[in-house]
Structure 1
Amino acid sequence: MHKVFVNDKPIILTTKVEKEEGFKNYSLKTVNLNKVVKELNKTPLKEVRLIHKNEEKLLKKFLKKLPNVIAGGGKVYNDKNEILFIFRNDKWDLPKGKTEKKESIEKTAIREVEEETGVKNLEIVKPLDTTYHIFKRNGRNKIKVTHWFEMKTMYHGKLEPQENEGITKVVWLDKEQANKALENSYANIRSLI
């Protein structure tokens, strides 16, 4: 099973058909994904389930339905075990961004964290889950596939929000502050923290 978010409402990719209560089932093979996105955005529907018989092919077939944007990002810890957060579009988020030509996903994640926050000396500790969400750009729906990495740094310098990316704040948050920030964040970010 995989979850793809449209804002905070999930599209669940699954092999199981269940009785519809607060959600709708669609066949992955024949679904019009643009209609599903519109339905999730404009109705009280809580989620949509896309059904396919083969578990291994679920995600691959889903990703062919819309253009993909590949991104890398970081859940960054400092030496006080605080997590690096950015504030963009009135929500708390983690730094991330699109890959550039022939760049590895690890290089993307480190570059984007540096560009969006000013934090240097980043070291990848381990890969985290990949998240998926659908967004609209230039009138078209796209799937953002974000590869996340846990990182650490000993950086103590100035935090610099990348304002031309709409980032207004960059802060280190302890566990309690992070939990509070997650109340005003995205579902896929909450799943990482």
Structure 2
Amino acid sequence: MRIYIKDKPLRIKKPDEVGDLAQFNGIVEDDDLLINEKLFKGNLLIRNATHSTIKSVLFIMHNKKLKNLSSITVLTENYDEAIDYIKSKFKILKAGGGVVYRDGSILLIHRLGKWDLPKGKIEKGESFVEGAKREVQEECNIKVRVNQKICTTWHTYTKGDKSILKKTVWYLMDCLDDSKMKPQLEEDIDEVRWMSENELNVALYNTYMSIAHVYNKFKKLKKTQSV
């Protein structure tokens, strides 16, 4: 499981899921020293993590300014229990979004100063597919057809006194009609734009890490389809 906290990835993995340790700048064992945020820099690996360690990691990532941190990978033998523990600390919301693809271009929205992919909250009674399609069509004022699932992302944020963990399921979509395309202003979207791969690579410098992750998953999916 990969969770984005303040746009930095926290990966929860089983010990056998990590091979090359050279990818990490620091490797520590589970101990009381983890409450010291000075350890949180570069790509950090934490081994033999307990629930107490995970709680400390969540607190530090939410409450400290970790300018030198790139990512944290936590290894635990009790993977399922760890995931359940993390989820118990948040209110979970469901969302759906789409990578709308047409003739080598992808549809991006510009919202609150960042380039983003269209997405939104799943309404009561909706499936992820239904909600993702509705949100993409509403935010961009286009018609789409859902093709297949790309991936799932998780990210956290705070709303009032509540800690939210949002699960977003992403789908590859085909554009059926963009003749009336326009941004949904009431959702703080000020631009909707088709971008080529070169344009998108520039836009990724001003987006969220979770969106870059979705794009990379999309590229891998398209590559397998072209083989």
Q: Could you state the TM-score of these two structures normalised by the residue count of structure 1?
A: 0.87
User: What CA deviation, in whole Å up to 9, does each residue of 1:121-142 have, x standing for no partner?
Assistant: x111110110011112124321
How many Å separate the matches in 1 of 2:129 and 2:194?
22
How many Å separate the matches in 1 of 2:82 and 2:196?
37
SS of 1:153's partner is strand
Aligned positions of 1:178-189 closer than 5 A: 178-189=200-211
- Of 63, 69, 74, the residue aligned with 2:93 is 69
Alpha-carbon distance change, 15 to 117 in structure 1, aligned in 2, over 3 angstroms: same
Q: Could you state the TM-score of these two structures normalised by the residue count of structure 2?
A: 0.75
Alpha-carbon distance change, 112 to 50 in structure 1, aligned in 2, over 3 angstroms: same
Aligned positions of 1:95-106 closer than 5 A: 95-106=118-129
Does the CA-based 8 Å contact 2:5-2:156 persist in structure 1?
yes
Does the CA-based 8 Å contact 1:123-1:151 persist in structure 2?
yes
Amino acid at match of 1:135: Y
| Residue 5 (structure 1) aligns with | 4
* Larger helix share, 1 or 2: 2
Whose RCO is larger (CA < 8 A, sep 6+)? 1
Aligned positions of 1:139-150 closer than 5 A: 139-150=161-172
SS of 2:206's partner is coil
How many Å separate the matches in 1 of 2:142 and 2:50?
41
| Residue 83 (structure 1) aligns with | 106
How many Å separate the matches in 2 of 1:11 and 1:156?
37
SS of 1:100's partner is coil
Aligned pairs, number: 189
Does the CA-based 8 Å contact 1:84-1:171 persist in structure 2?
yes
How many Å separate the matches in 2 of 1:6 and 1:64?
16
**Unaligned ranges ≥5, structure 1:** none
- Of 96, 107, 112, the residue aligned with 2:135 is 112
Post-superposition shift, 1:48? 3.4
How many Å separate the matches in 1 of 2:63 and 2:181?
38
User: What CA deviation, in whole Å up to 9, does each residue of 1:16-43 have, x standing for no partner?
Assistant: 497246237484522153443113x455
Taking every aligned residue pair, what percent have the same amino acid on both sides? 30
Q: What CA RMSD, in Å, does the superposition of the two structures yield over aligned residues?
A: 2.3
How many Å separate the matches in 2 of 1:146 and 1:174?
24
Q: Which moved more, 1:26-35 or 1:153-162?
A: 26-35
| Residue 27 (structure 2) aligns with | 19
Does the CA-based 8 Å contact 1:24-1:48 persist in structure 2?
yes
